[in-house]
Amino acid sequence: MNRLGIEQIHHLAIAVASIEKSLELWKDRLGFVPEVREFPDLKMREAAFYVGQVQIQIYQSTEPGLRFSRWVDEHGEGLHHVCFQVRDLAKTVEVCKAAGLAVLEPVPVAGSQGIHQRLTDEAGQGLEIEFLQVHPHLQEASSRAKATARTAAPRAASKKTVGRKRGVKVARSDASRAVKRPNSSLGPRRRSPRGRAARRRR
């Protein structure tokens, strides 16, 4: 754990002039399947998809002079901000301030995924840096999903082919292979005297 309490990269945000134009790269050529959403109240559009645990967010402002259109005018299309998921937002901000970094929001901003604060563009050397403390219930859901994925992983190594029937493989686990047949260690099977007498009468 670093002194900022960063747990992982939560998302990368890209500012563009046109969502449709950007999808020609990300969807048509690279094969990702972004979910496109409209935010009329915020006057912006978003196309988002995941690469592993990291979300890629592509943003377009629908009017001039707004957050992403202004960024595109000043910096061109490209990476807008990096969001780091942190354990304790208040402690992270304290460390940033102690290092002489200016924080854009004086108090945490509540969002759908948690609370966040950002460093100013100047502090981030032309790049917005965001710190996000995820809501506890979302954090727990993410941990459960990861645990489920691990336990549900296929255990192909524990299966071995032992025969075929009409072109279909017959498999059994290693545990079943360890079970011995009854009396397998007692040598050849002996025939009872009654059985021998019955065969002589025939």
Q: Domain limits of the chain?
A: 6-140
Amino acid type, 8: Q
Strands, E assignment, 16-91 = 35-39, 44-51, 54-61, 78-86
Q: How many CA atoms lie within 13 A of 165 on its CB side?
A: 3
Report the pLDDT value the prediction gives residue 97, as an integer from 0 to 100: 93
Residues 143-155: b if buried by 16+ CB within 10 A, e if exposed:
eeeeeeeeeeeee
Contact 84, 6 (CB under 8 A): yes
CA neighbor of 116 nearest in space, from 92, 97, 137, 143: 92
Find out whether 50 and 41 touch, Cβ atoms under 8 Å: no
DSSP run (H or E) holding 174: helix 174-177
Q: Taking the chain, what is the end-to-end CA distance rounded to the nearest angstrom?
A: 85
User: What's the CATH fold of domain 6-140?
Assistant: 2,3-Dihydroxybiphenyl 1,2-Dioxygenase; domain 1 (3.10.180)
Residue 44: burial class (beta carbons within 10 Å; 0-12, 13-18, 19+): buried
* 168 has pLDDT over 80: no
Read off the pLDDT of each residue in 162-173 and give the average, rounded to a whole number.
45
| Tens digit of each residue's pLDDT (9 = 90 or more) over 110-148 | 988 899 999 987 777 888 999 999 988 666 655 555 455
Express as a percent the part of the chain with pLDDT over 90.
Answer: 59
- Among residues 132, 128, 130, 138, the alpha carbon closest in space to that of 115 is found at 132
64-108 pLDDT, tens per residue?
999 999 999 999 999 999 999 999 999 999 999 999 999 999 999
- The model's pTM: 0.67
Tokens read off for 5:
């309490």
Distances (CA, A) of 77 to 110, 123, 178, 182: 27, 20, 63, 74
